[in-house]
Amino acid sequence: MWPALAFLFGTSLFLAIACLAAPLSMSARQAAQQTPEKSPDLKPFLGTWKATFQGEVFAILVLKEEKGEIAGTLNNFDVVFDAQGNLAEGTHTDYGDAPLLRVRVKSGELSFVVMEKDQYHPADEWKFAPKTANEGELTYLLDGKPYTINDTPVKPIRMIRESATPKHTQATAKTQ
């Protein structure tokens, strides 16, 4: 009787271990088959981008890579739009730069928030999308959607890449 009980106990133990190990090995195989999320290519965004109105630079977006992420600044400026969503008289540069916050790259676009120098003004939301190697579009957002005037979306602000490397990075490289 003892040998039969020992055999029965050994078989039960083997089946219990096999049943517990099967889900673990299946989940390990599934994890190995899943591909990690691919990091977006940041190179099309990097550099110093400028926008002009009536021949004067009013917006400067500086984008650089830090630890595999995009960081940078957007200068303070005021934009005025006409009823058709075009830049209008009163658009001008202002003093100071604001760091980019909540930066996200998705589907070839960069979205971010900047704090206004006036602490009582809410943060501004922006979207930047490179269109060619040297031209991009900066779009003013409200609640994640393009800003509108009387149900007419404002037109994106055309930006030209001045350089593929931000100026302060170039200066640092020259001094080393």
The number of folded domains in the chain is 2
Q: pTM of the prediction?
A: 0.71
Question: Is residue 1 a part of any domain in this protein?
Answer: yes
Based on DSSP, count helices (H) and strands (E) in the chain, helices before strands.
2, 12
Per-residue pLDDT, 99 = 94
Amino acid at 111: S
Across the range 133-145, mean pLDDT stands at 95
Write out pLDDT tens, residues 60-104.
999 999 999 999 999 999 999 999 999 999 999 988 899 999 999
54 lies in the same domain as 18: no
Per-residue pLDDT, 79 = 93
The C-alpha atoms of residue 8 and residue 11 are separated, in whole angstroms, by 5
**Is 70 exceeded by the pLDDT of residue 162?**
yes
128 lies in the same domain as 155: yes
- Using pLDDT thresholds of 50, 70 and 90, give the confidence band for residue 5: very low
Question: Is residue 38 a part of any domain in this protein?
Answer: no
The C-alpha atoms of residue 30 and residue 22 are separated, in whole angstroms, by 12
Question: Is residue 88 a part of any domain in this protein?
Answer: yes
151 lies in the same domain as 75: yes
Range of the domain at 21: 1-32
120 lies in the same domain as 153: yes
Question: Is residue 99 a part of any domain in this protein?
Answer: yes
| CATH of residue 107 | 2.40.128
Highest averaged pLDDT of the listed ranges 15-19, 25-29, 38-42, 48-52: 48-52
The C-alpha atoms of residue 55 and residue 22 are separated, in whole angstroms, by 69
Highest averaged pLDDT of the listed ranges 23-37, 85-99, 114-128: 85-99
- Using pLDDT thresholds of 50, 70 and 90, give the confidence band for residue 171: very low
